[in-house]
Amino acid sequence: MICNEVNFSKMEKMMINGKIWKFGDDIDTDVIIPARYLNVSAEDELAKNCFADIRPDFAGGVSVGDILVAGNNFGCGSSREHAPLAIKAAGIRVVIAKSFARIFYRNAFNIGLPLLESAEASIGLPDGQDAIVDLAAGRIEGNGRVFQASPIPDFMAKLIDAGGLVDYIRKVKIVR
């Protein structure tokens, strides 16, 4: 069986310009979307309760295109896919952190939420200010500075371009 991939190019053009929402180290999935809100699967309901316990102003203040910046080990804890879904549904278009928990990293890309790793940006980008992110280049501008992120691996970029793993699989032609 041979897979012929569709040519994707959305990420090459993806520029994100939004307000920074800053969080610290070790933000776990229970903090991102508390367990008491997991009795629903509707993304808009998850978004309403994103960061409810540590940042109650988040759901009401976030706008489509905003940027989440965090420290080390973002998304640690349980493997629930609800956490990146809640973030994406709230309007966040990219998460920048010093590092990500492994399962959160893969779950985010599987649902089409891009992640960038940059220790310098995680420290140098302040809460509430605007930033511009060039996803394809991994270039982040904010606070009068330019930061460089580690590049998104090629396959993960294809997942982002497709809108996530399920949409990627739907778009890939399988030849037998």
CB 51 within 8 A of CB 95: no
- For residues 39-50, average pLDDT: 91
Using a cut of 0.85, tell me whether the model's pTM lies above it: yes
Rounded to the nearest 10°, the torsion over CA 36, 20, 108, 112 is: 120
Question: If residue 154 lies in a helix (H) or strand (E), which one and from where to where?
Answer: helix 154-162
pLDDT given for residue 74 in this prediction: 98
Q: Which residue has the higher pLDDT, 14 or 82?
A: 82
Tokens read off for 172 = 């890939």
pLDDT given for residue 10 in this prediction: 59
pLDDT given for residue 105 in this prediction: 95
For residue 93, what is the domain's CATH number?
3.20.19.10
- For residues 11-29, average pLDDT: 90
- Domain total in the chain: 1
91-136 pLDDT per residue, tens: 999 999 999 999 999 999 999 999 999 999 999 999 999 999 999 8
The confidence band for 12, taking pLDDT boundaries of 50, 70 and 90, is low
Whether the pLDDT of residue 2 is over 80: the answer is no
CB 51 within 8 A of CB 76: no
The confidence band for 1, taking pLDDT boundaries of 50, 70 and 90, is very low
133-151 pLDDT per residue, tens: 999 899 999 999 999 998 8
Percent of the chain with pLDDT over 70: 90
Tokens read off for 150 = 């580690």
Q: Which domain holds residue 156?
A: 2-175
The per-residue pLDDT of the chain, averaged, comes to 91
